[in-house]
Amino acid sequence: MKINVLAFGIAKEIVGRPKEVLDVSDGITAGELKVLLEEKYPDLLKLRSYFLAVNEEYATEEQSIKADDEIALIPPVSGG
């Protein structure tokens, strides 16, 4: 299935664009998607942490992703 992954902040710089279309297996979990993204974009591993959101809510590692879900790659946020 094809999914759209939106990238923000430094994650967008690592991916090289604000939106990436990926062809993934049906029933992929958020944890499996993170591994796939880290294999495709190894610089993601340099981030202290980052999260995946599915349909505007933070995803657990076990959460299944469906073709119509909106996925967001959210880098750490710094403030001061």
Q: Please indicate, yes or no, if residue 55 is contained in any of the structural domains.
A: yes
Q: Please indicate, yes or no, if residue 79 is contained in any of the structural domains.
A: no
- Res 38: pLDDT: 96
Q: Please indicate, yes or no, if residue 35 is contained in any of the structural domains.
A: yes
Q: Please indicate, yes or no, if residue 10 is contained in any of the structural domains.
A: yes
**Cβ proximity of 24 and 65 under 8 Å:** yes
**Strands, E assignment, 12-79:** 19-23, 51-54, 57-58, 70-74
- Res 18: pLDDT: 97
The count of domains in the chain is 1
Residue 58 has a CB neighbour count (10 Å cut-off) of 12
pLDDT by residue, tens only, the chain of 80 residues: 999 999 999 999 999 999 999 999 999 999 999 999 999 999 999 988 899 999 999 999 999 999 989 999 999 876 55
Written as six digits, the tokens of 56 are 């505007």
Please give the residue range of the domain that contains residue 17. 2-74
Q: Is pTM beyond 0.95 here?
A: no
Q: Any alpha helices (H) in 1-80, and if so which ranges?
A: 9-15, 30-40
Q: Please indicate, yes or no, if residue 80 is contained in any of the structural domains.
A: no
For the domain that residue 68 is a member of, what is the CATH number?
3.10.20.30
